[in-house]
Every structure is written in structure tokens, then in C-alpha cells.
Structure 1
Amino acid sequence: MKPIRTGATVGTQESGERCFFMRACRFTNSSMIDRAAFDDDARMLTISFRQTGKYVYYDVPGIIFEELCKARSAGAFFNQEIKGRYPCRRDPARRRFGPNA
């Protein structure tokens, strides 16, 4: 896992003041999850699902992200250890297009 540098949400007060580091991993063999990123300071896990888009999970321990990235099956790990255990919401910055968006 290599930290990636990213900025705060464009248009927020933070955007000009704060850059933070996130850890990220990509799941090339998962039919459910494309990638995940974790902000250690905010304890925030972002998961990009292949079919349903991006969701943000809050108050997630760093070890959960690490284990997700190492899991033999990212989808099974997600269903067993993350889904329903942490508060979440659909990524608010995600643009929605189309009739079912």
C-alpha cells in the first residue's frame, strides 16, 4: 500500500488549507470492489464498488482497512467485517447521471 496525496473537497474551506495522506489499494480480482482508500486521521474508509458507486464509512479502525487489502476475497471480507458495522453514506461528491442515478 502506497500513500497517495489528495486534497480536501473542492469548494470547501479545507480545500485551500489542508492536504492529507491516504492509503489506497486496488482489487483487480474482485467482482464487487474496485478500490479502497483510508484516511488515518479521520478514520474514514472510502470504497468504490464496481456496480453501485462510492461509499464512505466512518470511524473505521486502520486495521480493518489493512485486513481488507490483504483479504483473499474483498467482497466476503466487506460483507463480514464492514457492512452494517460502521456508519456510512454514499459519496456526496459523486455525480449522478441517468434515470436511475
Structure 2
Amino acid sequence: MDSSLIQGARYWPDHRALELCLSSGRRYLYLGVPAEVAEGFAAAGSKGAFFNRAIRGRFDCHPLRDEFPKRRGVND
């Protein structure tokens, strides 16, 4: 994904849920996102601009935690 704001995205059409991973490493789950919006996001030339225009503040948003937190290794 080529964006300075969005690092990755996943969409679950059966649940109308869009997960976005921001370049900061934070992840968010947006609920109630129609397939048309997710498809528009996927096709957008600027993911960040599309996100700001069509997703941010328009859908129920939940911050996600990593399932396995990063831990320092022996050699870190």
C-alpha cells in the first residue's frame, strides 16, 4: 500500500468491518462500512485522502490492540 497515513487494510464484507493499520502502527476497526466504501478505498489513488473524506468520523471506530505485543529479545 502506497500511503503516508495508511499502512494496511482488511475488509470483512460479511461483517461490514474495515480494519486499518496506520503508519504510526495503531490499528482501528471501523464497523458498518458498506462494500462500496471499502471498494472505493481500495481503488483510491490517495488512501489517506479517501479515508479522511469518506471514512473518518462516519463509522463506529474501535482501536485494536496487537494480539501478541512486541517484546524485546535477548539481543535487543
How much is the aligned-residue C-alpha RMSD, in angstroms?
1.5
Q: Name which of 45, 66, 76 aligns with 1:94.
A: 66
Structure 2: distance between partners of 1:49 and 1:90: 11
CA separation in 1, counterparts of 2:23 and 2:56? 16
Aligned partners of 2:8, 2:34: CA distance in 1, in Å? 18
- Of Structure 1 and Structure 2, the greater strand share is in 1
Query: 2:54 is paired with a residue of what secondary structure?
Result: helix
How many residues align structurally? 69
Task: Give the alignment's TM-score, normalised by structure 1.
Answer: 0.63
Mapped to 2, the partners of 1:64 and 1:45 lie a distance apart of 10
Q: How far is 1:75 from its partner?
A: 0.1
Moved over 6 A (4+): none
Q: In the alignment, residue 65 of structure 1 is paired with which amino acid?
A: A
Residue of structure 1 equivalent to 2:50 = 77
Gaps of 5+ in 1: 1-26
Stretches of structure 2 that go unaligned for 5 or more consecutive residues are: 71-76
Q: TM-score scaled by structure 2?
A: 0.82
Higher relative contact order (CA 8 A, sep 6+): 2
Equivalent residue of 1:79, what SS?
A: helix
